[in-house]
Structure 1
Amino acid sequence: MENELSTVQLIQRKELSIFKEFIRVCEKHNLTYFVLGGTLLGAVRHKGFIPWDDDIDVGMPRDDYNKLMELDQNEFNFPYKLINEKNTPSFTKAFMNLQDSSTKILMTYSNIPHEESLWIDIFPIDGLPNNPIKKYLHEKHYLFARMMVQLSQFNKIVNQNKNDRPFIEKLIIKLADFIKVEKFLKYNFWQKYYISTISKYNMNAGYAGNYTGAYKLRELVPTDYFGDGVLLPFETIQVRAPQMYKEYLEAIYGSNYMQLPPLDKRVPHQYTIISLGEEKCMN
C-alpha cells in the first residue's frame, strides 16, 4: 500500500506541474477556466487532490475553450502539449488534454489497451435552455448523440468493467459488444453530430456545464453557479472555482459531498505506468 501511495503522490506532482502550465497560459491570454468534478471536490474537501485521485478536471466557457484550441503549440513550454482532435486525428474525444509528453502510461479500462501521456482534462462548458420544452428536447438529443459517438468507438473508450451503470446502459453495452457495433457506425459523422449538439447553446441560456463529464446531465447547473468564479487553495497554488461551488458540488455529488466514500471506492484510475520521466522538484 505504501508503494501505491508514493506512486499516486508522484503522479499528483506531475499533474500539478501540468496544471500550473495550463494556468500560466490562461492568464497570459486572459482565458477563463473553472476547476470541476473531483478537482473541485478535492479543493473544497482536502485543499488539494483527493488523496487517492490522480487526475485534474477543468472547464472553460466554449468561446475561451475554442481560443485555447487555436493557440500555437509553442505557447506551451516543453514537455507540455495541448492535444485535441484538430491537431491529433487519433485523439477521439470531445474535449482537450494538456499532456506531459515525458510520461507514458498504458490505459487498460477498455477492450483495446492504449498508451497515453499523463494529462489534465480540459472540458468545454456549454449551455442548456431555461424553457422547459426546449430543455427537455435538448437533453434527450444530447443523450442520444453521446450514446452514438461512444458506440462508434466502442472498443477504444467504453469501460465495460464499470459497475454503477443503469440497467439499460449495461444492456446496450452487452448488445453493442455482441454485434460489434463499431462496424456499422462512422465515428467522424457521430463526433461532428455530438459536438454540434452540445455546443448549440451558450452559457447564458439559463443552465451551463460540462456535457462530456461522467455525470452527464447532473453536471448542467444554473449558470449563476459559475459567475465570475472564486479562488480556492489547491496544494501549493490558488485555482479558480465556480462562484457558488457548494451548490455546484451538491448538484453533482449530493448534500453529503464532504463525507469520504467507503474504502473500496478510494481507488485511482485503471492504468499501468510505463515511465514518469524525470522527477522534478516542486516549489
Structure 2
Amino acid sequence: MDKKIEIIQLKGNELKRYQECVLDIAKDLVRVCESEGIEYSLSGGSILGAVRHKGFIPWDDDIDINIPRASYSKLLSVFEEKMGEKYYIQTPKKFPQIGILVTQIRKKNTIARRKYDWNLEQCGVSIDIYIIENVFNNPVKRFFQKNISMGLSFAVSAIRACNNCGLPKELINLEGRVLNYTKSKLIIGKLLKVISLKKWIEWCDFWYSCCKDNNSKMVSIPTGRKHFSGEMYLRSEMCIFRKEKFETENFNVPIYAEKYLEFFYGNYMELPPVGKRERHLFLELRF
C-alpha cells in the first residue's frame, strides 16, 4: 500500500446513483425477510436517516440493518435460495481476513473497495447486517458475557488495526471518523496475531451468542459503534417495530426510534457541521 492510490469520494449524481444501488439491495433483503418471517429493522444512521430525512442522510451512502440472532440464523439458511442469484453474503467467520465483525450482503459483479477490504478479491456494493444478541437475565452471567465479549472485540480490533496500519493516512483522515490506531494498540495487535484472526472471531461469535433465551429482558448489538455495554437495550424497545418511510419504501424501525436516536446522537434533529460529517470513501469503485 505504499504506492499512490486514488481515493474516490462520491458526490452529486454519482452519490445518488450509488444510493439507489444500495437501496435496491435493502429492498430485496426486506422482501425476503417479510416473506420468510425474518425479523429486521433499520440500524444506527439508517434509523436517523428515516426519522430525520425520510431516506438517506444526504451525504451518506449506506444502509445498516439489525437482525435478531434467531432470525439471522434463518436468513443464512435461506440466503442462497432466495438471494444467491444477485448477491453473496460475507460473514465474519467465513471471511475472517477482513477483520470486521459485521455481516455484509454484497451485489455480484460490482466493486466497492474500502479500507477494510482493500486486499479482498470480492468486495461488491454492500449493506451491513448487525446481529441483535440475547443478554442473560442473570447478572453474573451477563457480567461475563458482556466483559469477555468486549475484550474479544478489542482483540479483533487491535489485530485489524495492525493489519491495516499501512493504509494511506489520507484515507483515514478524510473519512472524518476517529480511529484509535495508537501505538499501544498496534503493539497489542502484533502480540495477539500469534493466534489466527479466524480463531478470535470464532470466540467473539461464541460469546456474543452464548445466551439462547430469545425472550430475555435485555438485548445487545455488540458489533455496534458503542460496543456491547453501550449497545444494551430493553428487548421491548429494540425488538418491537413500526414502519417508517425510507426513500421510496417503508422499512421497520424500533418502536421507540426517537428514544434510541436521542440516546445515540443527542439532539438528533440538528445537522452536524459540514466538517464533522462522516464520509465513506473508496479505493476502487465499479457498480
- Under TM normalisation by the shorter chain, which class is it? 0.7 to 0.9
User: Which residue in the other structure is 1:139 paired with?
Assistant: 146
Following superposition, the deviation at residue 114 of structure 1 comes to: 4.2
Measured against aligned partners, the alpha-carbon deviations of 1:142-164 in whole angstroms (never above 9, x if no partner) come to 21010122334444567884763
CA distance in 1, matches of 2:107, 2:140: 44
Measured against aligned partners, the alpha-carbon deviations of 1:160-197 in whole angstroms (never above 9, x if no partner) come to 8476357xx735324346xx346423222211110111
User: Which residue in the other structure is 1:257 paired with?
Assistant: 268
The equivalences for 1:67-86 within 5 A come to 67-76=74-83, 78-85=85-92
Given the superposition, is the C-alpha separation of residues 183 and 197 from structure 1 closer, same or farther in structure 2, using an over 3 Å criterion? closer
User: Which residue in the other structure is 2:237 paired with?
Assistant: 225
CA distance in 2, matches of 1:6, 1:144: 42
Following superposition, the deviation at residue 258 of structure 1 comes to: 1.4
Measured against aligned partners, the alpha-carbon deviations of 1:90-124 in whole angstroms (never above 9, x if no partner) come to 565433221111321221368x5545111011121
User: Which residue in the other structure is 2:4 paired with?
Assistant: none
Q: Quick check: 1:84–1:93 contact (8 Å CA) kept in 2?
A: no
User: Which residue in the other structure is 1:191 paired with?
Assistant: 201
The equivalences for 1:29-68 within 5 A come to 29-68=36-75
User: Which residue in the other structure is 2:6 paired with?
Assistant: none
User: Which residue in the other structure is 2:282 paired with?
Assistant: 271
Counterpart residue type for residue 94 of structure 1: L
Given the superposition, is the C-alpha separation of residues 62 and 221 from structure 1 closer, same or farther in structure 2, using an over 3 Å criterion? same
Given the superposition, is the C-alpha separation of residues 85 and 130 from structure 1 closer, same or farther in structure 2, using an over 3 Å criterion? closer
The equivalences for 1:50-199 within 5 A come to 50-76=57-83, 78-85=85-92, 92-108=99-115, 113-114=119-120, 116-156=123-163, 161=172, 164=178, 170-176=182-188, 180-181=190-191, 183-199=193-209
CA distance in 2, matches of 1:3, 1:137: 43
CA distance in 2, matches of 1:87, 1:55: 22
User: Which residue in the other structure is 2:219 paired with?
Assistant: 208
Q: Quick check: 1:221–1:248 contact (8 Å CA) kept in 2?
A: no
CA distance in 2, matches of 1:264, 1:10: 24
Q: Quick check: 1:151–1:181 contact (8 Å CA) kept in 2?
A: no
CA distance in 1, matches of 2:164, 2:223: 13
CA distance in 2, matches of 1:246, 1:214: 18
User: So what's the TM-score if we normalise by structure 2?
Assistant: 0.82
The aligned length equals 269
CA distance in 1, matches of 2:274, 2:241: 32
Q: Which range moves more in the overlay, 151-160 or 261-270?
A: 151-160
Counterpart residue type for residue 124 of structure 2: S
Q: Which range moves more in the overlay, 197-206 or 89-98?
A: 89-98
User: So what's the TM-score if we normalise by structure 1?
Assistant: 0.83
Q: Quick check: 1:154–1:182 contact (8 Å CA) kept in 2?
A: no
Given the superposition, is the C-alpha separation of residues 125 and 52 from structure 1 closer, same or farther in structure 2, using an over 3 Å criterion? same
Q: Quick check: 1:125–1:203 contact (8 Å CA) kept in 2?
A: no
Alignment of 1:4 with 2:11, yes or no, is yes
User: Which residue in the other structure is 2:249 paired with?
Assistant: 237
CA distance in 1, matches of 2:278, 2:47: 18
Counterpart residue type for residue 245 of structure 2: P
RMSD of the alignment, in Å?
2.8
CA distance in 1, matches of 2:243, 2:111: 32
SS, match of residue 195 in structure 2: coil
Given the superposition, is the C-alpha separation of residues 267 and 146 from structure 1 closer, same or farther in structure 2, using an over 3 Å criterion? closer
Where structure 2 has 5 or more consecutive residues not aligned to the other structure, the ranges are 1-8
Q: Quick check: 1:225–1:243 contact (8 Å CA) kept in 2?
A: yes
SS, match of residue 204 in structure 1: coil
Where structure 1 has 5 or more consecutive residues not aligned to the other structure, the ranges are 277-283
Given the superposition, is the C-alpha separation of residues 234 and 70 from structure 1 closer, same or farther in structure 2, using an over 3 Å criterion? same
Q: Quick check: 2:161–2:186 contact (8 Å CA) kept in 1?
A: no
Q: Quick check: 1:34–1:58 contact (8 Å CA) kept in 2?
A: yes
Given the superposition, is the C-alpha separation of residues 150 and 137 from structure 1 closer, same or farther in structure 2, using an over 3 Å criterion? same
Identity %: 28
